[in-house]
DNA sequence: ACCTAATGATTAGGCCCCTAACAAAAGCAA
DNA sequence: TTGCTTTTGTTAGGGGCCTAATCATTAGGT
């Protein structure tokens, strides 16, 4: 589900032209911004096409990965609230994601004997098997996407992306999904 | 509407650890991939927050921009099919976008006297005024987002993003929205 | 104990985007 | 002209994500 975006990015000369009409328009910033959005979109599209072929969405994949046993070894059981917090969606959305994953037999909900409000979401053997069958192609696509960049360029790339992302979350902080904590 | 994504990106050491369990996992590629998605998400979020404050979506904004008179001077009138093609959504989606834009008085549909299948979509004076009142803050946010990068870094940034995007669309071509042209 | 506040999960309703199917109009072949 | 085929815009239905409201359970203050 790519963000709606211009099919053909405007040329830099066009942006220069536009900047004459809009004093606030920074041509090189706009160009970098558009390239960032388009590259992110393209990368997302490539990964999502693979997911869709297996009736998976980005959201469902993230949930499965969170429940996937870490290298440490022990399997993961998380509550819907924890899953929502760690994957950056609302609890309401997580309800829907777990609904479909449970319907497809990938995860199970279990009531918590201690706190009867909570549930415990776990990966089923079928979910584990599914994920493991999916990951090789997933990683292959990621490797292919980044193949035009050598190790040095990748370091530079990560550094630049990190700067922009940090600036975004500092200058325009994201609203907190849970309680606003208005202190 | 950010893509669902891990709140905290895994550390590079963790990716190295994971690569032992998955031979296909390329740690530096995964890191760059995750940074790209997150930076794209953050940038999108910053821009979208501004849009939402004015009851605008990325899709509706793109349509308004396509209808906005270019520096050349003459106003733009496009058919829904042209709008869909240039903004990368389906015609069905464009119908909905133009529906809401017309309801809000931003654009008008006019029948084409020559080809009675076609419509002509134009910006209304109100739509033009609205767009012009919106753009300064829009450009301000883009400038702010890219402010941590100097001109030199921006050129590098654009070059690296361009490489990745080009690789994505070549290695995994996007399906054509219109006729598949199965030759 | 009692009343209130906070927390967990869910439901209801909305927006954005998609695919598939459709009717109307235009183009084209025989 | 009559019959395909293509193109245009639309509708119908679905999925993903959101916010706001709801209900049950737990925790805290008195």
pLDDT digits 0-9 by tens, B19-28: 667 777 888 9
SS3 of B50, please? helix
The CATH number given to A56-136 is: 1.10.10.10
What is the sign of the dihedral through the CA atoms of B39, B42, B47 and B48? Answer: positive
A126 CA: distance to closest CA in chain B (Å): 19
The phi and psi torsions of A36 (rounded to 5 degrees) equal: -65, -50
Across residues B24-50, what is the average pLDDT?
A: 89
Strand C and B79 CB separated by under 7 Å: no
Q: Give the per-residue pLDDT at A24.
A: 80
Tokens of B46: 């910053």
Distance of alpha carbon A151 from alpha carbon B29, whole angstroms: 9
Contact present, A119 and B40 (Cβ < 8 Å): no
Q: Which of A7, A115, A44 is nearest to B85 (CA)?
A: A7
The pLDDT, as a whole number, for residue B21 is 74
- CA A149 vs. chain centroid, Å, equals 21
Is it the case that residue B8 has pLDDT exceeding 90? no
Instruction: Name the β-bridge partners of B77.
Output: B122
Helix H or strand E encompassing A109: strand A107-111
Q: Any residues with CB less than 8 A from the CB of B171 and at least 6 apart, and which? A: A46, A144, A145
Do residues A121 and A98 touch, judged by C-beta distance below 8 A? Answer: yes
- Provide the pLDDT for residue B72: 54
Radius of gyration of chain B (CA): 21
Enumerate the β-bridge partners of residue A122: A77, A108
**What is the arrangement of strands in the sheet containing B107-111, beginning at the earlier edge strand?**
B77-78, B119-123, B107-111
Given a contact cutoff of 8 angstroms between Cβ atoms, the answer to whether B34 and A116 are in contact is no
Which residue in B43, B89, B174 is closest to A37 by CB distance?
B43
A79 touches strand C (CB under 7 A): yes
Sort out which chain A residues have CB atoms less than 8 A from B86's CB and list them: 6-8
Q: What are phi and psi of A55, to 5 degrees?
A: 55, 40
What percent of chain B lies above the pLDDT cut of 90? 42
Q: How far apart are CA B68 and CA B157, in angstroms?
A: 29
| pLDDT of the residue at B41 | 87
What angle is formed at CA A52 by the lines to CA B175 and CA B16, rounded to 5 degrees? 105
List chain B domain ranges. 26-147
Q: Which strand (E) or helix (H) includes residue A129?
A: helix A125-146
**From start to end of A115-163, where are the E strands?**
119-123
Beta strands in chain B (DSSP E): 77-78, 107-111, 119-123
Domain spanning B26-147, CATH class: mainly alpha
Looking up tokens 């098997």, which residue turns up? A129
* Tokens at B175, concatenated: 């399906």
A7 touching chain B per CB within 8 A:
yes
- Are B63 and B98 in contact by the 8 Å Cβ rule? The answer is yes
pLDDT score of B11 more than 90: no
Closest CA to B62 of B89, B30, B31, B22: B89
C-alpha gyration radius of chain A:
21
- CA of B45 vs chain A CAs: smallest distance (Å): 8
Which pLDDT score, from 0 to 100, does residue B159 have? 96
State which H helix or E strand residue B112 sits in. Answer: none
Q: What is the pLDDT of residues B158-182, one digit of tens each?
A: 999 999 999 998 887 766 554 433 3
Cβ-Cβ contacts under 8 Å, A139 against chain B: 22, 24-26, 30
B72-92 tens-digit pLDDT = 556 678 999 999 998 889 999
Decide: B28 and B16 in contact? Cβ < 8 Å: no
For residue B125, pLDDT beyond 60: yes
- So what's the pLDDT on residue B68? 86
B window 151-170, beta carbon within 8 A of A:
151, 153-158, 160-169
Cβ neighbours of residue A110 under 8 Å, at least 6 residues apart? Answer: A77, A119, A120, A121, A122
**What mean pLDDT comes out for the span B32-37?**
92
Kind and range of the H or E run holding A110: strand A107-111
Question: Beta-carbon neighbour count of residue B32 at 10 Å?
Answer: 25
User: Residue B183's pLDDT is what?
Assistant: 30
Question: What single-letter DSSP state applies at residue A25?
Answer: -
Per-residue confidence in pLDDT tens, chain A, 183 aa: 445 566 666 777 676 666 667 778 889 999 999 999 989 988 988 998 898 888 888 889 999 998 986 655 566 789 999 999 888 889 999 999 999 999 888 999 999 888 888 899 999 999 999 988 999 999 999 999 999 999 999 999 999 999 999 999 888 776 655 443 332
- Does the distance separating the beta carbons of A157 and B36 come in below 8 Å? yes
């Amino acid at each position: 589900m790519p963000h709606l975006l211009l099919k053909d990015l405007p040329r830099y000369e066009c942006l220069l032209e536009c900047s004459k009409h809009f004093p606030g328009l920074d041509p090189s910033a706009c160009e970098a911004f558009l390239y960032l959005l388009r590259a992110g979109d393209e990368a997302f599209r490539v990964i999502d096409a693979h997911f869709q072929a297996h009736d998976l969405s980005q959201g469902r994949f993230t949930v499965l990965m969170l429940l996937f046993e870490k290298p440490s070894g022990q399997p993961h059981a998380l509550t819907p609230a924890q899953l929502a917090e760690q994957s950056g969606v609302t609890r309401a959305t997580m309800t829907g994601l777990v609904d479909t994953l449970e319907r497809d037999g990938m995860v199970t909900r279990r009531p918590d004997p201690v706190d009867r409000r909570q549930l415990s979401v776990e990966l089923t053997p079928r979910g584990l098997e599914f994920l493991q069958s999916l990951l090789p192609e997933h990683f292959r696509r990621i490797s292919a996407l980044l193949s035009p960049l050598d190790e040095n360029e990748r370091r530079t790339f990560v550094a630049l992306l990190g700067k922009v992302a940090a600036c975004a979350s500092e200058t325009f902080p994201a609203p907190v999904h849970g309680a606003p904590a208005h202190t």
